[in-house]
Chains A and B, each alone.
Chain A
Amino acid sequence: MKLYDYVLSPSCYKVRLMAALAGVKLETRPVDFHPGAEHRGPELMALNPAGSIPILEDGDLILTESSAMLVYLAAKAAPEWLGSGKPDEAARVQQWLSFSGRLTVSLGGARLHEMLRRPGDIETLRAEGVATLRELEAGLVEQAERGMRFLAADRPTVSDIACFPYVALAPDGGVSLDPYPAIRLWSRAIRALDAFIEMPGIHRLHELKPEPGIEPEEA
């Protein structure tokens, strides 16, 4: 499985993260998104006319939507990440997978503008970003009332991975995460998962490792 990848892309990170959590080894092919704009060059446009990354290639299968890549990785290697299959749970997974696109446009757009100087109406992008964060916060509050710590179930699913990166990186675009307690708890729960990997802008949870001990010579 080959991932056309950019280290700073939250969408590519969704796939890298899902692969790590599902125990799938990915071959990554780095794409010079910035400053080289390679995703818009002839080789990658031939593979994906949308001109976007990530692109996932597995034999004949070429996927260009990150949500599809998450589902594919889970289906192949860790189907518990797709949820139990019960109708309302399956529907919630789909609801939040679709929702994740709005995070990409708003929070992702604000981030590209603020960090990589891409064009955009920053005030509108941020306002839409706040609106999506509020919806996510309300959703997580309700899930907690149902006894569930994640978006679709009491265990994480592909929908959590689809939503996590752009939310965690909202401050890159000048959208603060301070007003969302439920999002904070959910983000922490994801970062504390076994086999979790970071991306630049998302720090390691150092508290998960104990304080280094006293040097042996001092004992």
Chain B
Amino acid sequence: MKSKIKIFRVIILILHLIAIVLISACTPPTLSQFEVQRPSTITIPTELKKVYIRADLINAKNDKLGIKSQLLQELAKLLNSMGRFKVSVVKSLDEKQIDAEKEIVAVIQGGVISGGEVDRGQFTDVATCTGGIGGRISSAAAAAMNAEAVTLDNWRGYVCRRGAFTSDVTEIAISSAFALAGLGEALPPKNQVVRIYKYKNLSLFAQSNFSFTIIGLERETLAIRADSANFGRSIIEKGSYRNIKESHLISLTLGSLISSIRIPIFPIPSRELAIAKRSNPEQFFYKNKPLPVPSIQDLPEKEKNKLIKQLVNKTLSSFIRTISPYKMKVYAEVATGGKVDTENFLKEGKAKKVRELIERIPEGERESADWYNLGLAYEASAVSPEDYEDARRFYINALEKEPGTKIYAQGVGRTRSYLAENRKLAKQIQN
């Protein structure tokens, strides 16, 4: 027994050390966030400036969430923000009024499909309850740290939780700490229970089908896309957990039969005792009609609107990237150290300030982190290919000073891809 406890303590110590190493290695770095412009998949003729989104030609018969109007407005807003086209949503368009000799325009049409479901039900699990002072505290703490649902057994208030790898490790660590401090038992009493709980799964779905047609001397469809996005959330109603069968209660009932250690009881003499009857749900959760769409009771209006906005943006992004040069957010790690502390400036997006600060340092005195952060400042505030060339040069300087640094190499890789795309992008955004 003693040797087992010793082994157990050594294991715990090693687990602690591993956890410390991992946590310290995973401290989040400071990130600089900036935007870069990337070319569209197809190159649209440069003389095309005006785009009309025709609401009358957008089919919304299966738009159960009623997102058509929001989706069209958002499409217009996003395309306008890219600066390539002047986009407006129109109720209809008399194409005869367009003088194809003078200008060409484009029309976006298609369809919107959306929907959602609330799926309710009951599930079963088996939980392990821990007794003793140390056992109860460590089990409750492990459950709290890992967001597990806790129930108390009806006998002595043992703390019951389902258990998972991380929470089990947490419980072992805490209970061993208690045991080492003499505040708890090395092996606390355990009792397994069958529990039931209720859940509610919410899902939302949105799909946009759009085509992009040029109306000029000839009518030509340049792009057609269908893109969808979905949201899913599983909500376990923590207050709905109920212990419906506890092993200790059965053991008490059978107490007279138990006289020594490790006695398996097969079979249980009473049929009623051997059945966790309440784990069988009475209710049917699927009926002969579609599941309801999430209401305000299921998703607060503010959150639902936010989610719908996310779905809308996601369904639109591929279509936008197909027809228009677009801006993309880049998160790049800021180097620590160097002659000047520019970490906060880069984090706050003050790239020009960083350039000023680092460029004051004579080139020969700059450290690798200075070169890298200077490259990052040039990349973040780039307005021409030359800026990317400079950034690339500075990243290479950093890498030469400190070979083997991953973030410096990543800088070189990023600037390479911008420069490779530059010719296509320049063609798309000229004039």
Please indicate whether A and B come from the same complex rather than being unrelated chains: no
Q: Which residues of B contact A (CB under 8 A)?
A: none
Q: Which residues of A contact B (CB under 8 A)?
A: none
